[in-house]
Chains A and B, each alone.
Chain A
């Protein structure tokens, strides 16, 4: 401990010479975004039903092809609040692979991988 001041200076110099912000990745992994999104939607569902796909569409947000079909199906609004992504293979691929081969328009998982 007798060399504390020069030691502190030495480590300060070392820190200045090795900037942690320089080696930063530009983007978060798509897999991570997919997992975060799935977790958030799951949490939202746990506290009550999701907004229905009809409402989402009315807000001007894009739906994927499966969701589009589901909005046209002769089912009640309750069914349109289901989280279809939960049973979609796009979610599985997106959560496991970094460059998942999913390309549907309106699919959040495909968007994460396209970004």
Chain B
């Protein structure tokens, strides 16, 4: 049986594996999962931490999308890089979907106005404690705010880029980030 995508003789190990999966060889499919699941899982986990309850679903979606689009794999990069590209898209789709959601009601009402800048990072000599506190605060933020902060500061995506990717205006993203930061500091100070 000739797989539809790779008409010529597969040249690399990755291409041979893809060809076998396209022939519906179940053991090749198992090898595909076995070889790549750890790397994809680590990537998705790192992008979603500290809330990791959606990691499994997203990783599964990456593999399903990969399987549905195997014919698009040209072998110009490694299979792992190709899968990482799909994972990156899946995570960003997830971010985008949440950033497009309406604002949490309590946040628009609360709007605390801080005169001082907190948190005081210098008070944390122990980076482990700082990390723990930061994750704890992030976990307790509404999902939209958490993802906005992670995307902007941890993933270093500019407000302009976030606006372009979510279809919002840059001003709207800046307002969202300002509310997210306010909420973050409020939780930081009151936990």
Contact = CB atoms under 8 A, between A and B. Distances in A.
A39 B44 CA distance: 19
Interface string B115-146: 00101010010010011001100000000000
Interface of A: 1, 3-4, 6-7, 10-15, 17-18, 20-21, 23-29, 32-33, 35-37, 39-41, 43-45, 48-51, 55-56, 59, 61-63, 83, 85, 108, 111-112, 115
7 contacts: A11-B153, A15-B156, A17-B124, A33-B37, A44-B26, A108-B33, A111-B30
B41 A25 contact: yes
Interface of B: 1, 20, 23-30, 32-34, 37-38, 40-42, 45-47, 49, 56, 59-60, 63-64, 67, 114, 117, 119, 121, 124, 127, 130-131, 134-135, 149, 152-154, 156, 174, 178, 181
Nearest to A106: B27
A32 B41 contact: yes
A115 B134 CA distance: 33
Nearest to B56: A32
A43 B65 CA distance: 11
Contacts of A29: 41, 56
Contacts of B59: 28, 32, 36
B84 to A, nearest CB: 14
B56 A11 contact: no
The 5 tightest CB contacts between A and B, nearest first, are: A108-B30, A28-B41, A61-B27, A15-B153, A28-B37
A55 B134 CA distance: 54
A50 to B, nearest CB: 5
Given A4-B178, A33-B34, A20 B154 contact: yes
B28 to A, nearest CB: 7
A97 to B, nearest CB: 15
Contact of A51 (B25, B34, B38): B25
